[in-house]
A and B are shown apart, each in its own frame.
Chain A
Amino acid sequence: MSAAADKGQARPPKKRSKFVRWQGILIFFVLCALAAGTWLLFVDRYAERAIEKTGTAVIGAKVELDKADVSLSPLGLTLLGLKVTNPNAPMTNAVEVGRVAFHMDGPNALRRKVIIEEMSVEDVRLNTPRKTSGAVAATEGRTPLQQLIELPSFVIPNVKEAFEKEKAGLRSLKLLTGAAADVGPMRTRWDAKVLELKAAADVERYQKQFEALKAKTGKASIGNLLGGAKDVAALQKQVRADIQTVTEAKRTFTGDLAALKQVAVETPAAVKDDARRLVDKYALTPSGLANISRMLFGGKIAGGVQSALRWNERLSPLIERVKEKVKGKEVVKPIRAKGRDVRFREDRPLPDFLTRLAKVSVSLPQGTFAGRIENLTSEQDVLGQPLKFSFSGENLKGLRSAALEGTFDRVNPSARKDVLNLKLRGYEARDVKLVESASLPVSLKEGLADLDISATLEKGGLTARITAGLRSARLSVEKAEERPGLAGRVDAAIRNALTGITSLSLTAEISGTPESFDVKVRSDIDDVLKSAVGALVRDQMAGFEKDLQEAIGGEVAGPLGKLNLGLKGLDAIGLELDSLNKRLGDLLKKLK
């Protein structure tokens, strides 16, 4: 074929597929590569944001991260500068971690399971100051700590103030006021009743009827005699019925009257009872003195317990995931996704998140503590093992040794059990404020303490025991406002007694529920203070009680007078009922 012929022949058009465009494959892979490149560029920032957002939601206060570094081979994550704000003190970081590093199991990560064999947590610091507030939400409601602050104070109460405050709740006053108010209506009611009875059982009318019958039967005929006897019998029946009605009324009246008289009789005793109750409530009683340890240490202990409980509650979602059952299938809410994840039986069950071992080093002002956390997962029921942790440190600054260990057992979620044990030896306590009262601010200037704490939170019940021994102690009561009179003398006695204490032992027992727990504290201080101020308090008590009795007596005098006056009026009604009954009785005798 010639070249000219070749030129003249048109080149056949390239066949174009009707359904596919082959270039699309190339475009797809180019776009995938671009997406992967972008992901790699931004994955660190994305991880950082995700950790901050999720952490903030779980803790309830700001969680911040300086840097997150995701590595793909081996798959892992390194976090730098993690700061967790204390939700109760937004200007303080509860925890600050210098570095967290771990590698994840790749195949399991594809199955959306984060399985970490070993995690390294370095340079953990507690309670570090923040430059800006880390608050995200406000807390509300009265806490057990606030309730404990309402302990009896050293303030010797003012009788007038105590009385005015309690007046509305005084039993004696309530009883008397009620009784005095009842007298008037009762009088009106019984006056009406007596009139009604007198109208129904009209003795004069009965007398006239009897006279008429007597005159009628005087004529001697059989008919008269028979008819007269029948009429007399009817009259007798009527009078007997009236006597019965009046007797019943008198019985009811006597009962009502007796109840009112009883109130009047019991008033002096009720006044005394009220005075005693107010004394027990307001005054520093000898029995109250026996619990001064609670006042000194109770607030601190309750505050510590509550703080621990708050953290336990906040961290709960991390160690116990909420699951629901739908048609027998376990359903969980994914932390960062829509919808719900339905779970099925797995050939090799593993939790969605598991750190088998985390090695932690905590830097405190006293020194470095080393510790380990095992089985950190939110699904202990899947793993079948509880979370365990232990931390310890020796020869630290101001502390000879410290050991903390515990377990969070949620293997069976319905029988959850958290156990914590802490042992501190040779803790050099300095300037610990025990009571921040305006009149008696007590602080521990110095002392060498050994402390043992064991606490268990099981099935919603909290039990804890704290034993502490303090040696070479120096307690001080700061100079504060001096109060006049007995209050000042009690303050001085307590001050002297406390400053003389050099060693003490303390036992605290906490029981109840996390929402409402009771703190019982006993220590040597109780006996010391009891002997120091017991006599003063006893003297003060007598006067306080007498004054209160007088105040209450004065308040009840008015209603009592009104009651007594009313009772006299009611006595007259009783006499009227008796008189009516007697007249009816006399008439009946005549009819026989």
Chain B
Amino acid sequence: MIQSVFKVLKVLNSETHPSQISLGLCFAVVVAFTPKFSLHNLVIYFLILFLRVNLSAFLLGALLFSGLGALLDPLFDRIGLAVLTAPGLERLWTSFYNATMWRVQEFNNTVVMGSLLTALVLFAPLYVIFNKAILYYRAHVYAHVQKLKIVQAIKGNDLYRRYQSLKDWGGLS
């Protein structure tokens, strides 16, 4: 049973190409900014598992960006309200409002709309930024980091060695 779980985790962590890590981080931004149990997040969870996205990057990103998302809620509320009350979009929202699927999605909630819209707008630029940052890290920073005493100490840890066996997203394998 444990072997099977490790096998699954290994599969999910085997995608270490910069684009796969960046994609994981971008999906993390969407999940972290928007309410966790929304319909669109179900789609995101599916995409994360279905596409070759690095799961560790996603999980770490979701953890990091969740705090930021909570801080930005008042901003999301204002953005959502502005979008939902825009006169030009009223017909579109009215048709959504009368469709069950969109009501399940809670599109008419100001925070859901504001946060989702912000996350989607940021998705592509963040993908490019994350990609470049990872390439830069691997070329210029990674070697220095490996030499740090604290990193050496962590790498000597048993827990880390077990985790490493799953191929972490920062590795160059």
Do chains A and B interact in one complex? yes
Which of B8, B76, B81, B100 is in CB contact (< 8 Å) with A27?
B8
Known: A337-B109, A340-B77. A107 touches B100 (CB 8 A): yes
Task: Tell whether A223 is near chain B: CB-to-CB under 8 Å.
Answer: no
- Residue of B whose beta carbon sits closest to that of A112: B103
Task: Tell whether B119 is near chain A: CB-to-CB under 8 Å.
Answer: no
| A17 to B52 alpha-carbon distance, docked (Å) | 9
Proximity bits, B127-150, A CB within 8 Å = 1, else 0:
000000000000000000000000
Instruction: Determine if B52 and A18 form an interchain contact, defined as CB atoms under 8 angstroms apart.
Output: yes
Within 8 A of A (CB), among B78-117: 80-81, 84-85, 87, 90, 93-94, 96-98, 100, 103-104, 106, 108-112, 114
| A84 to B109 alpha-carbon distance, docked (Å) | 31
| A331 to B49 alpha-carbon distance, docked (Å) | 37
Task: Tell whether A326 is near chain B: CB-to-CB under 8 Å.
Answer: yes
Q: Interface with B: A134-142, A248-256, A302-310, A344-352, which one?
A: A344-352
Task: Tell whether A110 is near chain B: CB-to-CB under 8 Å.
Answer: yes
Smallest Cβ distance from A345 to chain B, in angstroms?
A: 6
Instruction: Determine if B93 and A344 form an interchain contact, defined as CB atoms under 8 angstroms apart.
Output: yes
| A23 to B49 alpha-carbon distance, docked (Å) | 8
Instruction: Determine if B85 and A340 form an interchain contact, defined as CB atoms under 8 angstroms apart.
Output: no
Known: A19-B51, A20-B50, A327-B85. A344 touches B111 (CB 8 A): no
Chain A residues whose CB sits within 8 angstroms of the CB of B73 once the complex forms: 338-339
Which of A18, A111, A331 is in CB contact (< 8 Å) with B103?
A111
Chain B residues whose CB sits within 8 angstroms of the CB of A169 once the complex forms: none
| A327 to B46 alpha-carbon distance, docked (Å) | 37
Chain B residues whose CB sits within 8 angstroms of the CB of A343 once the complex forms: 97, 108
Task: Tell whether A334 is near chain B: CB-to-CB under 8 Å.
Answer: yes
Instruction: Determine if B11 and A342 form an interchain contact, defined as CB atoms under 8 angstroms apart.
Output: no
Task: Tell whether B170 is near chain A: CB-to-CB under 8 Å.
Answer: no
- Residue of B whose beta carbon sits closest to that of A337: B109
- Residue of B whose beta carbon sits closest to that of A334: B109
Proximity bits, A303-328, B CB within 8 Å = 1, else 0:
00000000000000000000000111
Instruction: Determine if B49 and A24 form an interchain contact, defined as CB atoms under 8 angstroms apart.
Output: yes
Instruction: Determine if A112 and B81 form an interchain contact, defined as CB atoms under 8 angstroms apart.
Output: no
Smallest Cβ distance from B101 to chain A, in angstroms?
A: 9
Known: A23-B11, A344-B97, A346-B98. A339 touches B112 (CB 8 A): yes
Chain A CB within 10 Å, residue with most, of B49, B80, B98, B111: B49
Instruction: Determine if B94 and A345 form an interchain contact, defined as CB atoms under 8 angstroms apart.
Output: yes
- Residue of A whose beta carbon sits closest to that of B76: A339
Chain B residues whose CB sits within 8 angstroms of the CB of A19 once the complex forms: 51-52
Instruction: Determine if A339 and B11 form an interchain contact, defined as CB atoms under 8 angstroms apart.
Output: no
Known: A21-B51, A346-B97. A331 touches B106 (CB 8 A): no
Binding site for B on A (CB under 8 A): 17-21, 23-25, 27-28, 31, 107, 110-112, 326-329, 331, 334, 337-347
| A327 to B77 alpha-carbon distance, docked (Å) | 15
Q: Can you give 12 contacting A-B residue pairs, CB < 8 Å?
A: A19-B51, A25-B50, A334-B109, A337-B35, A337-B111, A339-B109, A341-B108, A342-B108, A342-B110, A343-B108, A344-B98, A344-B108
Chain A residues whose CB sits within 8 angstroms of the CB of B109 once the complex forms: 334, 337-342
Which of A21, A31, A334 is in CB contact (< 8 Å) with B50?
A21
Smallest Cβ distance from A108 to chain B, in angstroms?
A: 9
Chain A residues whose CB sits within 8 angstroms of the CB of B98 once the complex forms: 344, 346-347
Chain B residues whose CB sits within 8 angstroms of the CB of A328 once the complex forms: 85
Chain B residues whose CB sits within 8 angstroms of the CB of A344 once the complex forms: 90, 93-94, 96-98, 108
Which of B50, B80, B94 is in CB contact (< 8 Å) with A28?
B50
| A346 to B48 alpha-carbon distance, docked (Å) | 35
Instruction: Determine if A112 and B49 form an interchain contact, defined as CB atoms under 8 angstroms apart.
Output: no
Chain A residues whose CB sits within 8 angstroms of the CB of B48 once the complex forms: 24
Chain B CB within 10 Å, residue with most, of A25, A27, A112, A342: A342
| A17 to B11 alpha-carbon distance, docked (Å) | 13
- Residue of B whose beta carbon sits closest to that of A28: B49
| A115 to B100 alpha-carbon distance, docked (Å) | 15
Smallest Cβ distance from A371 to chain B, in angstroms?
A: 34
| A1 to B12 alpha-carbon distance, docked (Å) | 41
Instruction: Determine if B84 and A342 form an interchain contact, defined as CB atoms under 8 angstroms apart.
Output: yes
| A17 to B51 alpha-carbon distance, docked (Å) | 10
Known: A27-B8, A339-B110, A344-B108. A326 touches B85 (CB 8 A): yes
